[in-house]
Amino acid sequence: MNHDLPIGPFIGRSFYGHPVRTGLLMTALLFGRAVYSENLLAAVPAASQTATAQEIVIQGTVRASDTKEPLPGVSVVVKGTNRGATTDASGNYEVRVADNRAVLIFSFLGYLSQELPVGSQNRVDVTLQADSRALQEVVVVGYGTQKKVNLTGALSVLDMKTRENTPVTNASQALHGVSGLWVNQAGSKPGRDNATIRIRGVGTTNNSNPLVLVNGIEYDMNEVNPNDIESITVLKDASAAIYGSRAANGVILVTTKQGKEGKTQINYNFSYGIQQPTMMPDVIWDPIQYMQLKNQALRNEGKTVVDYTDAQIEEYRQGMATNPYAYPNINWFDLVMKNGTLQQHHLRFSGGTEKIQYNFALGYMDQDGVLINADHANRYSLDLNLSAQVAKGLRVGANLTGNYRKYSEPPGGTGGYFNSLMRVLPIFTPYVEDGRYGNVVFRTPGRNSIENPMKLIQEGFRNRSDQRILTKIFANYELPFGLTYNVNLGFDKLDSYDKVFNPSVNTYHPLTLAPMTYAAGYASNYNTDNLTLTFYQTLNWDKRFADKHQVSAMLGTSYNDFGNSFFSARIEGYLDNTLTDIRAGSINPTADGTVTRDRLASYFGRVNYSFSEKYLLEAILRYDGSSRFARANRWGFFPGLSAGWRIDQEAFFDSRFISLLKLRASYGKLGNQAVPLYSYLNVVNLGADYNFGNTIQPGAAVTTYNDPSISWETTTSYNAGIDAEAWSGKLAANVDVFKRRTSGILRQVAIPSQVGALGGPQRNIGVVDNTGFEVGLTHRNRLGQFRYDVRTEISYVKNEIVDLNGETVISGRRILKEGYPIDAYYVLQADGIYQTQEEIDGSAKVSSAVRPGYLKYRDINGDKVINGDDRIITGNSIPKWNYSFGLNIGYGAFSLNTYFQGVQGISIYPTANLAYPVNNGAGLTNVWATDSWTPQNTGARLPILTTPQGASENYQNSTFWLRDGSYLRMQTVQLTFAVPDKWLSKARISKLNLFANGQNLLTFSNYKDSDPERDIKLDTLYDYPLLKTVSFGLNLGF
């Protein structure tokens, strides 16, 4: 015999330790009722059945207040217990309580929660009120806010609450997974680990960075403590036209946390983490194996004289046991690297009255990098927001965001240091026996790594301090006739001081102690002083007519003044390394400096119309004048138009399941003025002296001719999208298709050599298309104590050069050519590995030195010769696909959040040092010992072991070395425990969350040489590595 069991008791039984089949549980979740057999009840212990008989059974129905229809899936929880139920398809529930003092909590997405005491009732019927906050939710847009449901543009909004307890060090890291963004963090250098951001592809060969504004003022968002940010809005289409000449690469709007009316709230966040590189090269550190493989590489090239004789190798083998100073056997990575640490503290006070609200926060970050010395960063941050109603209709306020940063690194920088570290040989000793810095016992012909990485990291320094503060004051005044006037004045001040001291320190031969290298010491100072002034004002009008027509309009003006001053000085000739000040030097002093100024004046406006929140229209106008161009081309006009249709508001659309269905489309023109300053002026060399009358006379000459007619790069944006929500907001989907065409791209054109060695002018001659789509899906639900949130984002972008004025620009292995993406690769097509001499004799080849085991290339043009004419265009420097997905689950006080992010369709061409064996004086990786071609291993993945200098035939720019840089990474996994309120109430603590977090813990990729997430501007592999972090922390509130 089968019975129908309401979902509440079913889930209750399953959560109380009685096993139920997964299939039954899914049936319950989907249909609200489950079928069980008497055998299931028979499995319940008698004591449990007796306890159930003593409890009170409460039944009831839950309905919606607006439609009076029953609500399925409502969570019904007995307050203070783990007991719960869920309403079935008819809105009915049944739950057992201990006695009549019990309180039931009813909650459902899209509706306000209710708490009702049971009392003497056996039936409790409930009517839930619709939560209008979802419909009234507003998002930040250019120069204002709009209701989210009425948006007609393509926007992505990140609520920083979703990143709460995640110990990111800067805001750009938090943008992973935001739809339409490619966020690329190439390294984790302390204090300089911000990511590169691209919105909907790359549309220019010039600056592709988006415009970032913090509280309406242009600013670097990585200068803002992530804990101080409330939300981040990304404008991806014509909605960005309100920012005109700076909007072609998209716009990111950062809003910091504001004070709210209510008692003072105090929040303290703390986290402490351990950091390690996600991946390091698998280097051969065995000195004997290294010397043998180096010799083998030379013999494979046909050489009879090798670097290390058998006697030397045997000498080294025995010396490792008797004199480890001269004959070291060490892993240099272990010697100069360690676990890094990262700790962050953040304290915030917020609150206010009806008249004044405030938010004040202090932050501190200490990051000790993975190098043993001179690899450290500190950040002290401050955020203050004040808002006060000083008179009727007049509100004034101020925002202050600032930080002070300190960095330390080796004198050549961490990038230069890792370059040297990747070149150090296993036979290089850090110290000789008396403690001085060592070198190698065997010097070999050709390029040797003469830099001792231990010396480079222990001696000298590069210390930098940055002090930056953004101040904004504003006022809002309500005028008659529904008008509001807003005025803002902002100052962004940056002072940066960089001091470098590179001492003169010898290295010594490990046996003879003779000095082997000497570099003259030097000191240098760099000072940067930037001041940016921003002023903007708006006049807003909002009016509703006949209860159906809503019109809002905004007019505004803005003025930006960017000033930059830079000075540097360098000197050599230090008597010793005690005095490091630049005044202690004595010879070869040099100095340099620049002063620049850049201004932008703008007029802008926006009009929004809504008919019954059903038919939506937005028009944007922007008129910009920039000092970056000549007077005749200084002003540009940038319009935007978008429309939306909320089908769910139509009378013919009657769906209880779908709560939002909106179509939208947009068109706009955006500008890019991020070109080098003074590009319209000729470049003159004042040191072009000449001979006149047998005497050298001072003179000047033009070295680069420029075109005064250059103007903006212009991006035309087309977008169409659909937004949908269903099941009372539990399901949501967003789909966008777009095309962005950037025309008038500024690039330098060549001048015929007949006119002399002159640089060509910049001209507006390029056109690039970015075409693609974005899809976002989310699902969230709550079933009693259990809650979950699933989300995924995927985007595709096809990048193509449409017009380059018929030119083809080749730069090394990169190419710009019509019909291909920006910076595609131009390389030979590898066609396997030669196996026999007969195969070599019958094919086209690079040279006559080709041997079995060498790489074979395809003869594309069929002329029987392999050369540059056989190159093909292939690969992508920009990923075609970006995707992410996450799952957040919670039960009671526990929650587990996971987030994955990946890219597909991007290429990597590794170069320098360990990218090839024994390259540039470096060693080699283990794969060359296990998977390179030999007569006995003809199926190997790699060609025969040779050196790039002795067998360049194997190291031609080719598809063999071009790697697939696609990857999937577990970006974040976090376990949080929210300490129950009843445990905290006596201590007057309002919130205490304890968490453990992991970042970058897992990476899945076919590319194994290094971490696949790398500097998008470079092919070089080795800079500061990306780090994985395991951290613990708390979030405490009073």
CATH architecture label of 134-267: Beta Complex (2.170)
Residue 801 and residue 770 in contact, taking contact as beta carbons nearer than 8 Å: no
- Return the bridge partners of 396, or none: 388, 475
Non-local (6+) Cβ contacts of 745 within 8 A are 204, 205, 206, 713, 764, 765, 766, 767, 768
Which of 470, 471, 469, 473 shows the shortest CA–CA distance to 488?
473
Local confidence band at 40 (pLDDT 50, 70, 90 cut-offs): very low
In the chain, which segments carry CATH 2.60.40.1120? 2-131
Instruction: Calculate what percentage of the chain has a pLDDT beyond 90.
Output: 61
Query: How far is CA 1031 from each of CA 160, 895, 1025, rounded to the nearest angstrom?
Result: 19, 16, 18
pLDDT at 426: 94
Non-local (6+) Cβ contacts of 770 within 8 A are 200, 201, 202, 203, 738, 739, 740, 741, 742, 797, 798, 799, 800
In the chain, which segments carry CATH 2.170.130.10? 134-267
Q: Look at 39-43, 236-240, 401-405 and tell me which has the smallest mean pLDDT.
A: 39-43
Q: 3-class SS at 167? A: coil
Q: How far apart are CA 231 and CA 221, in angstroms?
A: 12
The CB-side HSE value for 1005 (13 A sphere, CA atoms) comes to 27
Position 660 pLDDT exceeds 50: yes
3-state helix, strand, coil in the chain (%, to 5): 15, 50, 35
Sheet with strand 75-78: strands edge to edge? 84-86, 75-78, 103-107, 114-117
Pairing of strands 126-128, 56-64: parallel
Local confidence band at 655 (pLDDT 50, 70, 90 cut-offs): confident
Position 47 pLDDT exceeds 80: no
Residue 150 and residue 139 in contact, taking contact as beta carbons nearer than 8 Å: no
Non-local (6+) Cβ contacts of 400 within 8 A are 382, 383, 384, 385, 469, 470, 471, 472
Longest pairwise C-alpha distance within the chain: 120
pLDDT at 132: 59
DSSP 201-223: S---SS--PPEEEETTEE--GGG
Extended strands (E) in 784-893: 786-803, 809-811, 814-816, 824-827, 830-833, 855-857, 872-874, 881-891
Q: For 30-46, what is the mean pLDDT?
A: 32
Query: How far is CA 115 from each of CA 112, 331, 440, 621, rounded to the nearest angstrom?
Result: 10, 64, 77, 50
Position 50 pLDDT exceeds 60: no
Q: Rounded mean pLDDT of the chain? A: 88
Q: Which residue has the tokens 């209880």?
A: 656
> What pTM was estimated for this model as a whole?
0.85
For residue 777, give the amino acid letter: L
Residue 117 and residue 97 in contact, taking contact as beta carbons nearer than 8 Å: no
pLDDT digits (tens, 9 = 90+) for 911-967: 878 889 998 888 999 999 999 999 999 999 999 999 998 899 999 999 999 999 999
Q: How far apart are CA 260 and CA 269, in angstroms?
A: 20
Residue 913 and residue 422 in contact, taking contact as beta carbons nearer than 8 Å: yes
Which of 205, 210, 247 shows the shortest CA–CA distance to 744?
205
Position 815 pLDDT exceeds 60: yes
Q: Look at 86-95, 135-144, 578-587, 662-671 and tell me which has the smallest mean pLDDT.
A: 135-144
Q: How far apart are CA 214 and CA 756, in angstroms?
A: 48
For residue 1026, the 8-state DSSP code is: P
Crossing angle for the helix pair 7-15 and 22-31, to the nearest 10 degrees: 150
pLDDT digits (tens, 9 = 90+) for 664-717: 999 999 999 877 888 888 888 887 777 788 888 888 888 888 888 888 899 999
pLDDT digits (tens, 9 = 90+) for 778-802: 999 888 788 899 999 999 999 999 9
pLDDT digits (tens, 9 = 90+) for 710-753: 888 999 999 999 999 998 788 999 999 999 999 999 888 877 77
pLDDT digits (tens, 9 = 90+) for 991-1027: 899 999 999 999 999 998 888 988 766 666 678 899 9
pLDDT digits (tens, 9 = 90+) for 409-451: 999 888 889 988 998 999 999 999 999 999 988 877 655 556 7
Look up the CATH superfamily of 2-131.
Carboxypeptidase-like, regulatory domain (2.60.40.1120)
pLDDT digits (tens, 9 = 90+) for 142-194: 899 888 888 999 999 988 888 877 888 888 988 888 888 999 888 888 988 88
